[in-house]
Structure 1
Amino acid sequence: MITTTNFHCALCLVYGAHGREEKRGVWEELSYVAGLCQVPFCFLGDFNEIMYAEDRKGATSLPTTGEEFKRWVHDIQLMDLALTDRKYIWFRGRSCSRIDRVLVNVEWTEKFSDIRLKGGPRGLSDHCPLIVEGTKLQGGPRPFRSLDSWFTHEGFLRMVKTEWRSLEDAQFTCKLKALIVPLRQWHKNTFGDMDKRLMRFEEEITRLGNLARIKGAIRGFYKDLYRQEYVPRIGVRDGLVKQISRDEAAALEVLPSEKEIKEAVWDCGSSKTPRSDGYNMNFIKKFWEDIGLEFIAAVLGFFQSAKLPMDLNVTWVTLAPKVEGAKEVKDFRPISMVGCVYKVISKKMGFGLRWRNWVRECVTTATMAILDAGGSSQKRAHCPVVGGRRSY
């Protein structure tokens, strides 16, 4: 327990093994610990393994143990905190890599939305110390959102380009997450007074209603709505689905070209509500010259591997009133917000075996959060597929 905030959690310090079998043993033990935890938990330390090729200087591909480590992190639904101020954390001679990490579960991020990871001075050790900073928020984390008004401010474009280039060769989604920190700071420095006024207004609204009752009703309504115990299996032999030819199926599974991916981006509305990653398509389009190739690589990475990083497959659901004076949950229209990369992926999928693997990855790794009127994410849980629908 962190006594200063009365935050009940579990912290596990890790020192990874060197051999392949020994590493598997450590991961198995950590999986057991994760299964026991009924509170937000954090694994931090030296895992003695990389998750991406760019985590090791000069590496062009992941070793077998790296692939297994990455799959293990994905399977037990952990989030790898992005390192915001440097690329490597371990140094020996000319060798350098990032083998120290901080892995947290979704419940941890619900308590600390503004969490960031940086390295400290190395001193005499081969390792730089890891410093985790974050602010606990009451009532759930406030999601990051990019604002179109930022582009009208002098110096904003230059600031983003400078910050993006400073992140060098990190994975695209990690760079997006790391970019949130300087964007938040820039927004605070530029529009700080406005945020304070909005915060006072939101506090006044909070005092007017029983938020606990409202949250409970919303959770219960959607928990029941997305639960389905049985769904009849319908196939092509039932005469309800027309089977396409092999050539048509093969054509649907051809990997999208760079041109098609860019067209899919430009086909999306620019100034719609920011997605679950905090960015709207206007942001992606404005900085396409700087981030376009990495965005394309992130999309193609899914189609080539049929694997989605957990943070790419998060859906936010916000509720908009259908009628004036809406009081019951059924009076609100749910609006889903998926990440920018996921949005483009969903526009380019076909129907064959490869397509089924793509869909299975998109559906079975889904994470959903319900947003209240104040913009806080109150409920975020892994959503397995039950009868073809997402459920809690």
Structure 2
Amino acid sequence: MIKMQKTMRWYGPHDGVKLEDIRQCGVTGIVTALHQIPVGNVWEVKDIQERQEVIRKAGMEWTVIESLPVHEDIKRRGGDYQKFIANYKKSLEHIAQCGIKVVAYNFMPILDWVRTDQAYENIDGTKALLFDERAFIYFDVFLLQRPGAEKDYAQDRLNAAIAYGNTLEEAEKEKLYRNVLLGLPGSDESFTKEKVLELLDDYKGISDDELRKNLIHFLSEVAPVADKLGVQLAIHPDDPPFSVLGLPRVVSTENDIKEILSGVPINANGLCYCTGSLGANPNNNLVRIIEEHGNRIHFLHLRNVKREEGKRFRESEHLNGDNPMEAIVEKLLVLMQKNNTSLPVRPDHGFLHSFEGVEKYPGYSLIGRLKGLAEIRGLELGIAYKLQQTQT
């Protein structure tokens, strides 16, 4: 029975979680990126090989790039976008030369992800990531003060946000502001309110349809190159899977996935199947996505969420959330047997346990992810045994 390739994300030499710690979790593959290279610049072979050597010395292989970021000019199809597409192709050539076969990326404008609480406390004292629409609206309208933001929300949601904001002390408001902006690439830098509003202004007039056209144009350029090189591109769904800050979204729904994959119908144009991001939208059927697009799934992020009233969701235990993880893993195992291939998987996010103190990258504590990996591995073994029994 073919099993999934177990991997774990590592943010590089500055990550508080060391490679030797990750190896002791039982994974053979590392998911990482050259975060030190400015977005849009070419990844040179020597830099890729240098990182590969560090990982190999720790007894593992660099199996998935997450991510090779897409420059904002490409997303807007303006400025120097043609130069940045050419650079992306060159980076893919260098990546292939180094033997790495899977490249994850996203097409979310400005923010890579959004949460309003990086340390929501569970009943048992562990901490998790949470998105609360009330908090986000308060941030958008009253802290960031995005022009016209209040027009994007129904009055009852705006009233709920105001009531929420009235409960916050000044320090809590500052923390909320920082929490939301952690999703900005390079968020270790100091982003002023003026800078964020300037970035948002660049997307004025760009609708969902326009952004989708820009994505298809990008893929029509780079996917054939990747296909020729034997590299698989895996687009990550929007996180969260709905508009934030008035920005367009094009990888949030089942129909979005269909349009992207049919728009450039070659195998190299594929999906990073993230059960957490897709599962935050209750209208997405995660099992059906595997059934309809399984042959184009190149990378797996397995995590779970609990959805609450309104657009509020929190990370949950990997096997205890609103996503049917048992059915998902069974579908994935059947898919891999059918295609005679092993998909790379990583436990995505995890609870922060009190033993670890403060985490540098929210959601990426070692113990929380090790727990998720163990649960997924156990689930996989049990389902694999069941499938073998039914086949004999």
TM-score calculated relative to the size of structure 2 = 0.28
Higher relative contact order (CA 8 A, sep 6+): 2
TM-score calculated relative to the size of structure 1 = 0.28
